[in-house]
Structure 1
Amino acid sequence: MSTIRVAVVGCGAIAQRRHIPEYAGNPNVTLVAFVDPLLERAQKIADPFGAEAFASYQDMLAKIKPDAVSVCTPNYLHAEVSIAAANAGAHVLVEKPMASTDEEAAAMIEAASKNGVHLMVGHNQRLMPPHVKAKAILKSGVLGRVLTFRTSFGHPGPEAWSVDGRDSWFFRKPEAIMGAMGDLGVHKSDLIRYLLDDEVAQVTGFIGTLDKQDTDIDDNATCILRMKSGAIGTLVASWTYYKGEDNSTVLWCENGVMKIGTDPKDQIIVELRNGTVEKYNVGAISTNEKQETSGVIDAFVESIATNAKPAISGEEGRKSLAVILAAFESQATGKVINL
């Protein structure tokens, strides 16, 4: 197959730690351009690849005409850049949350459809081996119906993760739009939809800024979800887990419980009511401290190569975003939000 020419827009932490190394490791990809408002940052990354550096994505799209674009910008630019790339005829992989509003998400899906290009959202949790295995176990029926659940993603915050540390856009509301919920919560709304093969019907959200100083961006959220199946559970996102990152999910089912990511060695533990315990060591869940290959880039490249709609499509990203937006609406109104 002919090589896919890829441009990366936004050269911060997610681009440097996931997108760029994973593209570089894919034999079907040539990295041709890097865009960052800090031109020196883009240039430094572009040089080893013999790629071009730009301060403006508009200039890059006009000159390079890439086959595909990774959108790794602050949240408020996701829709704008994705739509421009699609209109330039490029396939788009956008980081999560895919957009700031449902209207933006719809416009992105429309732009991709109109231009005959793929739109994929970087929801890497559903590609992590423990989650793939957990879904297979649920599908086997051994646990019966999922009755209740909790899914959680917490770490100390973007200070140590972002290339700009405490001065990161993550803490500036006009650029981030949402904090821990957009960063971590949307991963979990996507994961629970994927694992349960079910949609969220109702959301109640308690969201606030509890400990981060000099910012009005949310650093904690606890949400109650009711699924269409009737299953009830909690979704937690936190930037104040200062001692111990948590990226675990527990599902209490008719016939037992499945614990995912609760044990450092056995990523999945299934405890059945009949007394049997099954442990699965199937590869780790990625953490900030220990990056695993996400699988997102390879899946994106594969969808372009085979001209198949990405599994983590714009439509999927939009549904996962809707849960988060409903949680904010619940916090603002004090009401249960029906989806």
Structure 2
Amino acid sequence: MTTLKIGVIGCGSIARKRHLPEYALLPNVEIVAVCDPHEERVNEMAALYGAKAYTDYRELLRHEGLDAVSVCTPNALHAPISIAALEAGKHVLCEKPMAVSIEEGEAMIAAGTKAGKLLMIGHNQRLMLPHKKAKEILASGELGRVLTFRSAFGHGGPETWSIEGAEGWFFNKELAFIGAMGDLGVHKADLLRYLLGEEIVQVGGFVGTLHKKNTDVDDNAVCVLKTASGVIGTLAASWTYKAKEDNSTTLYCENGILRLIEDTTYNVIVDYNNGERLLHQMGKVATNEKQTESGIVREFVGHITAGTKPAISGEEGLKSLKVILAALKSAETGQIVQVQ
């Protein structure tokens, strides 16, 4: 088997804690190039992984024999860098949210199609073991239809996670475009679409900056979502859950309740209407403090090797992006918004 040569663009926390160590774990994968405009940061990662350091992503894309890249940059740079990489003939794994507009997302998909290269988006919630188990349970039909749901993703904020802390790009609207709703809410929009197996068609959103200082991006969002078949529920995203991270989802079904990542020991719980309870322990769930393999990098490499299209494709990333863009529009207009 030939060795897959990988470049990672952006050497902040998501690259250091997820992409780089996960590529390094895989056989027949070699990290050959890393890029970051911050010289000390990129040189540190280059030394650690035996890669060549670049401060300009355009130079990295000319690295001889490069097969694929991860784009781990501020949100506003996702689309231009991904498009450049696809046009240069590289497969792309792009962090979420994939872009800052529908037009950018469509341009990324078109670039991948034209180049005949894979575009995958880092929506790793689909790959978490509790969520895969939940998908199985829902697909079995034993709980009947989902009637309503609530899902939340919140922690103390990116200053506790980002390599740049409170001064980082997450709080700069020009680079981030969107705050908690783009950082965390888009994950849950994607997860709900995956679990429910249908599209979200209407969104009512309250999106605001309630606590963080010196920023013009949101730190809290609460949205009401409606699917094509009429399922309704709520999605909350927050950077102010300081005491304890929340990554839970509850689905209220005809025949019972499905509780995900609510209990620290049993991260899938089924409460049946007849009073019976099933407890499942489905591996460890990654938090900001305790990282576990996300699965996204392994999945990306597997699709390149097999020549198959990722389930978490650019098209899927765009559908999830459209939900958070609709939430922003709803917050601005005070109206329920149809997802485009």
Letter in 2 for 1:105: G
| Cα shift readout 1:44-64 (whole Å, capped 9, x = no counterpart) | 111133211011001111234
Runs of 4+ in 1 over 3 A off after TM superposition: none
Match of 1:331 in 2: 331
Match of 1:130 in 2: 130
Match of 1:144 in 2: 144
Is 1:82–1:92's contact at 8 Å kept on the other side of the alignment?
Answer: yes
Match of 2:320 in 1: 320
Match of 1:230 in 2: 230
Is 1:5–1:67's contact at 8 Å kept on the other side of the alignment?
Answer: yes
The aligned length equals 339
Is 2:204–2:225's contact at 8 Å kept on the other side of the alignment?
Answer: yes
Match of 1:286 in 2: 286
- After TM superposition, the structure 1 = structure 2 runs for residues 265-304 of structure 1, keeping only pairs within 5 Å, are 265-304=265-304
**Aligned mates of 1:241, 1:50 — CA distance in 2:** 38
**Aligned mates of 1:23, 1:63 — CA distance in 2:** 18
**Aligned mates of 2:226, 2:60 — CA distance in 1:** 44
Please state how far the C-alpha of 1:285 moved relative to its aligned partner: 2.1
Structure 2: give runs of 5+ residues left out of the alignment.
none
Letter in 2 for 1:221: A
Match of 2:178 in 1: 178
TM-score, normalised relative to structure 2: 0.99
SS at match of 2:69: strand
Letter in 2 for 1:45: M
**Aligned mates of 2:48, 2:173 — CA distance in 1:** 34
Match of 1:7 in 2: 7
Please state how far the C-alpha of 1:28 moved relative to its aligned partner: 2.0
- After TM superposition, the structure 1 = structure 2 runs for residues 160-175 of structure 1, keeping only pairs within 5 Å, are 160-175=160-175
Please state how far the C-alpha of 1:333 moved relative to its aligned partner: 0.9
Please state how far the C-alpha of 1:159 moved relative to its aligned partner: 0.7
Match of 2:219 in 1: 219
| Cα shift readout 1:282-305 (whole Å, capped 9, x = no counterpart) | 112211111111000000000000
Match of 2:77 in 1: 77
- After TM superposition, the structure 1 = structure 2 runs for residues 111-130 of structure 1, keeping only pairs within 5 Å, are 111-130=111-130
**Aligned mates of 1:286, 1:45 — CA distance in 2:** 22
Is 2:38–2:55's contact at 8 Å kept on the other side of the alignment?
Answer: yes
- After TM superposition, the structure 1 = structure 2 runs for residues 71-110 of structure 1, keeping only pairs within 5 Å, are 71-110=71-110
Match of 1:158 in 2: 158
**Aligned mates of 2:276, 2:198 — CA distance in 1:** 27
**Aligned mates of 2:238, 2:105 — CA distance in 1:** 24
| Cα shift readout 1:130-169 (whole Å, capped 9, x = no counterpart) | 0000000000111100000001000000011000111110
**Aligned mates of 1:285, 1:48 — CA distance in 2:** 26
Match of 1:28 in 2: 28
**Aligned mates of 1:86, 1:149 — CA distance in 2:** 37
Structure 1: give runs of 5+ residues left out of the alignment.
none
**Aligned mates of 1:27, 1:5 — CA distance in 2:** 11
**Aligned mates of 2:269, 2:180 — CA distance in 1:** 28
Is 1:259–1:270's contact at 8 Å kept on the other side of the alignment?
Answer: yes
Match of 2:188 in 1: 188
Is 1:6–1:33's contact at 8 Å kept on the other side of the alignment?
Answer: yes
Please state how far the C-alpha of 1:65 moved relative to its aligned partner: 5.0
TM-score, normalised relative to structure 1: 0.99
Is 2:33–2:63's contact at 8 Å kept on the other side of the alignment?
Answer: no
CA-based RMSD of the aligned residues comes to 0.7
Q: Does 1:18 align with 2:12?
A: no
Is 1:33–1:64's contact at 8 Å kept on the other side of the alignment?
Answer: no
| Cα shift readout 1:237-260 (whole Å, capped 9, x = no counterpart) | 000001111000000000010100
| Cα shift readout 1:90-135 (whole Å, capped 9, x = no counterpart) | 0000000000001000000000000000000000000000000000
SS at match of 1:187: helix
**Aligned mates of 1:160, 1:336 — CA distance in 2:** 33
Is 1:65–1:90's contact at 8 Å kept on the other side of the alignment?
Answer: no
Is 1:11–1:42's contact at 8 Å kept on the other side of the alignment?
Answer: yes
Match of 1:242 in 2: 242
Is 1:46–1:52's contact at 8 Å kept on the other side of the alignment?
Answer: yes
Q: Does 1:307 align with 2:293?
A: no
- Percent of aligned positions that are identical: 57
Is 1:146–1:251's contact at 8 Å kept on the other side of the alignment?
Answer: yes
**Aligned mates of 1:310, 1:19 — CA distance in 2:** 17
